Amino acid sequence: MLDRNKIRDDFPMIKSEEAKGRIYLDSAATSFKPQCVIDKVMDYYTKENANIHRGDYDLSYQVSSEYEEVRKLCAKFLNADSEREIIFTNGASSSLNLVAYGYGQKFLKEGDIILSTEAEHASNILPWFKVQEVTGAKIEYIPLDKEGIFDMEGYKRLLNELGDKVKVITLAHVANVLGNIVPLKEIIEEAHKVGAVVVVDGAQSVPHIKTDVRDLDIDFLCFSSHKMLGPSGVGVLYGKYELLEKMDPFMLGGGSNARFDICGNILLKEPPFKFEAGTPCVEGVLGFGEALKYLMAIGMENVEEEGKELHDYFMKRMLELDNVEVYNPKSETSIVTFNVKGIFAQDAAGYLNSQGIAVRSGTHCAKILLNVIGVSETIRASLYLYNTKEEIDRVIEVLKETTLEKCIGAIL
């Protein structure tokens, strides 16, 4: 059992005096951080401030090895073969761009197909628009049904039709507006039959569900630390080692090369180091390590199971409300996307804010999704392991009585 009240005690953003009465339902944008993560970041600056991978003194050695320990921990978290498959980046966007640039732009050519969906976050589709422009490869969209659910038959039909022209499949394990889990294992199995490489945007899935890269046979996995209790400014690109070996780095510079000469020859280091030019966000990576430890101590199975339970409770109560329209009744993790009937999303979100409830309104960076669900502007409420049933009950009470008059009242 996940003791949510005990967990809440670990989060200054929840237990502080100023936090009284606040209900945070925007963890899909960024999560709160537990004290241990905050302390670790502080400790770096107060106790072990030194650069990594350089210097011959104790401090630098110590912080370098801690940094590399986080890489090992992350490999373990994902059940990767080796920590050499873990690249630290600035975040999911940075990881996704790195794959599109270093793999997509390098290996794709005219006639090749990239498969994706209309539910993708801008960070997972715009880099592939660029690949399209630069290489002449083309993006095709895997069909989704009215609720945005992945259409396996449609996908297989596409693969059948296009065969080995499909070189890359890129999609979110959990989409940021819809919150349903795609059948990744089967998707990847089918993709590999035609020789395609699968890029998984794990920004919304890795924080919530156990992600075993070997079991799922994922080729590339991208996610952010800040959505899973860690600091911002840090992300991960997991890649199968043989793919990382042939892929190009996005940046060149200090730390990524073994040697170079005046004639312009560069000998890059092996992965993951060839991808990590420049001084990284050291304190962020160390803090991320604490976040991983925190999640692993609870157990991702528990986070997943109890997360679903709380989400299902939230969804059930939302579906009972007559004045609310839910767009993703089949979602499974964290996210509920809705509107209060007859009220513009931003107005309703403004009213919720006046009641201490933090939700996000807008297109949620998935601007082409409106073709699928038919509305452009929605409210997204998202949960994490520090939210409680009591909070949900309060949100339901507030939503029940949300009217246009009250929304306008909130700005008067």
Partner 1 sequence: MMDSNLKRDIIMDHYETPRNKRTPQSDDYLKKHMAADSCIDDITIYIKFDGDKIVDVSFDGVGCTISTASTSIMTELIKGKTVKEALHIIDEYEKMLSEDSYEEDLLEEANAFDTLSKQANRISCGLIGIKGMKEILENYDK
Ligand X SMILES: Cc1ncc(COP(=O)(O)O)c(C=O)c1O
E-only strand ranges, 160-249: 166-172, 197-201, 220-224, 235-239
**Quick one: which of 10, 118, 120, 347 contacts partner 1 (CB under 8 A)?**
347
- Should residue 378 be labelled a site residue for ligand X when binding is judged by CB under 6 A? no
Decide: is 411 part of the binding site for partner 1 (CB under 8 A): yes
- 243 contributes a contact to partner 1 by CB under 8 A: no
Does 299 participate in binding partner 1 (rule CB under 8 A)?
A: no
Place of tokens 């990594």: 52
Cβ-proximal residues to 399 (8 Å cutoff; 6+ apart), any chain: 318, 321, 323, 324, 340, 352
The secondary structure element, H or E, covering residue 394 is helix 389-400
SS3 311: helix
From 201-209, 275-283, 315-323, 377-385, give the range in contact with ligand X by CB under 6 A. 201-209
201 is an interface residue for ligand X by CB under 6 A: yes
Nearest CA to 331 out of 300, 359, 310 is that of 310
- Look up residue 339 and give its two tokens: 């509107």
Shortest Cβ distance from residue 48 to ligand X (Å)?
26
Q: Return the residue of 36, 358, 362, 388 that touches partner 1, per CB under 8 A.
A: 362
Verify whether residue 36 is a known catalytic residue.
Answer: no
Residue 64: burial class (beta carbons within 10 Å; 0-12, 13-18, 19+): middle
The site map against ligand X for 167-196 (x = CB under 6 A) is: -----x---x--------------------
Q: Does 207 bind ligand X (CB under 6 A)?
A: no
Contact residue for ligand X among 7, 52, 92, 144 (CB under 6 A): 92
| 204 makes contact with ligand X (CB under 6 A) | yes
Cβ atoms of residues 141 and 166 within 8 Å: no
DSSP 8-state symbol, 173: S
β-pairing, 23-24 with 357-358?
Answer: parallel
| Contact indicator for 351, 324 with CB cutoff of 8 Å | no
Are 283 and 233 spatial neighbours (Cβ–Cβ below 8 Å)?
A: no
> In this structure, are residues 267 and 258 in contact, taking their beta carbons and an 8 Å threshold?
yes
Residue of 153, 156, 120 lying closest to 139 (CA atoms): 120
Give 166 or 407: the residue with its C-beta nearer to partner 1. 407
139, 344, 355, 394: residue in contact with partner 1 (rule CB under 8 A):
344
346 forms part of the interface with partner 1 (CB under 8 A) = yes
Which residue, 154 or 350, has its beta carbon nearer to partner 1?
350
Task: Specify the pairing of strand 235-239 against strand 220-224.
Answer: antiparallel
Residue 24 CA, distance from chain mean position? 18
Q: Which of 74, 222, 365, 407 is catalytic?
A: 365
**How many residues are there in the chain?**
412
Span near partner 1 by CB under 8 A; candidates 42-50, 112-120, 292-300, 339-347: 339-347
**Which among 68-76, 90-98, 137-145, 299-307 is the span making contact with ligand X, rule CB under 6 A?**
90-98
| Cβ proximity to ligand X, 230 vs 249, nearer residue | 230
Which residue number, 123 or 339, has a Cβ lying nearer to ligand X?
A: 123
> For ligand X, which residue of 27, 170, 180, 224 counts as binding (CB under 6 A)?
224
Nearer to ligand X, 37 or 172 (CB): 172
Residue 350 interacting with partner 1 (CB under 8 A) = yes
Answer with the entry of ligand X, partner 1, none that 268 interacts with (C-beta below 5 to 8 A by kind): none
The CA distance from 268 to 259, in Å, is 7
**220-246 core/surface letters (b: 16 or more CB in 10 A; e: else):** bbbbbbbbbbbbbbbbbbbbbeebbee
Contacts to ligand X from residues 116-155, by CB under 6 A = 121, 123-124
Determine contact, residues 268/256, Cβ cutoff 8 Å. yes
Residue selected from 15, 376, 389, 393 as contacting partner 1 according to rule CB under 8 A:
376
Q: Say whether residue 409 binds partner 1 (CB under 8 A).
A: yes
Q: Residues in the site for partner 1, rule: CB under 8 A? A: 344-347, 350, 353, 361-363, 376-377, 404-405, 407-412
Q: Residues in the site for ligand X, rule: CB under 6 A? A: 91-93, 121, 123-124, 172, 176, 201, 203-204, 224, 226
